[in-house]
Structure formats: C-alpha cells, structure tokens
Amino acid sequence: GIQVEQSPPDLILQEGANSTLRCNFSDSVNNLQWFHQNPWGQLINLFYIPSGTKQNGRLSATTVATERYSLLYISSSQTTDSGVYFCAVISTQGGSEKLVFGKGTKLTVNP
C-alpha cells in the first residue's frame, strides 16, 4: 500500500519563528489533506490540497503531485500552533478508498 512519510518527527520553535513541514508519499494521489491535532486531541482539517498552493492566514501548503511531496508552512508561529501535524493521502485498492496517515510532526512552540 501507499506509504506516507513526514519530517521532521519533532520540531521545537520559539514564538515568532517560521517552519516548514514535509510530507512524502510513495504513489500518485488525487487527495491530500493536512490536519492539526491540538493538545486536546481534536483533529482539525487545515487544507485539502491534492495539488498547487493554498494559504489560510499564517499557514500555507504546497503539493507537487508529480514529485510526490507536500509542504506545510507555518509563519510567525504562536504557542497555539503546538500539537501534532498530520499529512494524509487517499489510497484506493479494489475499488474502495481509505485515508492513510503519516506518523505526524510534533510541533512545540515556546513563548
């Protein structure tokens, strides 16, 4: 099945710093999502981005489907950005599809 790898596994930042999270996937995809799991455990959908670039406030994401990677940019990080960031892609096998997650990047933003 499709493999999803995220890097780095852990990231510690000072408030105000910028960061880039990376997601590599092993096969072509037509759906990619970025999620933020906050310290209370909620999974929040950040971007649906199978290709191209999107921006939402201080966050933006770029997916280069032909090269099988996606990047999540966080600018001017805040303590509320802390949590785990997951990349997930659709895997289709035998006519059924499922969302396959990477292992996440744990981000800690210190004041």
Q: Which residues are at the interface with another protein (CB under 8 A)?
A: 31, 33, 35, 37, 41-43, 45, 48, 84, 86, 88, 96, 98-101, 103-104, 106
Task: Considering the complex, state which of residue 94 and residue 111 has its C-beta at the smaller distance from another protein.
Answer: 94
In whole angstroms, what is the distance from residue 88 CA to residue 46 CA? 11
Dihedral sign, Cα of residue 65, residue 94, residue 99, residue 2: negative
Q: Please, what is the minimum distance in Å from the beta carbon of residue 3 to another protein?
A: 13
Q: Please, what is the minimum distance in Å from the beta carbon of residue 29 to another protein?
A: 12
Task: Considering the complex, state which of residue 58 and residue 98 has its C-beta at the smaller distance from another protein.
Answer: 98
Q: Please, what is the minimum distance in Å from the beta carbon of residue 6 to another protein?
A: 11
Q: Helix or strand or coil: residue 102?
A: coil
